[in-house]
Amino acid sequence: MKIRSISYACIAFFLLLQACSSTMNSTATVNKRANILGTWQLANIGYEGINEVTVKSLFKEQNPKCFIGSTWYLPNNGSGYYLINEGQNCASIKQNIYWSASPAEDTFQFKKIEAGEKPKLVEDGFRLILSSVTKESMVLRSPVETSAGNAYIVLNFVKSEK
CB 126 within 8 A of CB 110: yes
* pLDDT mean by block of 10 residues, the chain; 162 residues: 48 41 39 85 96 91 95 96 92 96 91 92 94 94 87 96 64
Number of Cβ atoms within 10 Å of the Cβ of 131: 15
Residue 118 falls inside a structural domain:
yes
Domain span including residue 97: 37-159
CATH number of residue 95's parent domain:
2.40.128.20
The angle subtended at Cα 44 by Cα 43 and Cα 47, nearest 5°, is: 155
- Please check whether residue 19 lies inside any domain of the structure: no
DSSP of 52-104: GGG---BTTTB-HHHHTT-EEEE-TTSEEEEEE--BTTB--EEEEEEEEEEGG
At residue 1, the pLDDT reads: 53
CA gap 51, 32 in Å, rounded? 31
pTM here?
Answer: 0.78
Three-state secondary structure call for residue 22: helix
List the Cα angle 84/88/91 in 5-degree steps. Answer: 40
Q: Is residue 3 part of a domain?
A: no
Position 162 scores a pLDDT of 56
What pLDDT shows up at residue 60? 93
pLDDT number for residue 103? 78
Q: Is residue 53 part of a domain?
A: yes
What pLDDT score was predicted for residue 2? Answer: 53
For residue 17, being part of any structural domain is answered with: no
Q: Residue 120 falls within a domain, yes or no?
A: yes
**Does residue 11 fall inside a structural domain?**
no
16 within some domain = no
pLDDT at res. 72:
98
Q: How many domains does the chain have?
A: 1
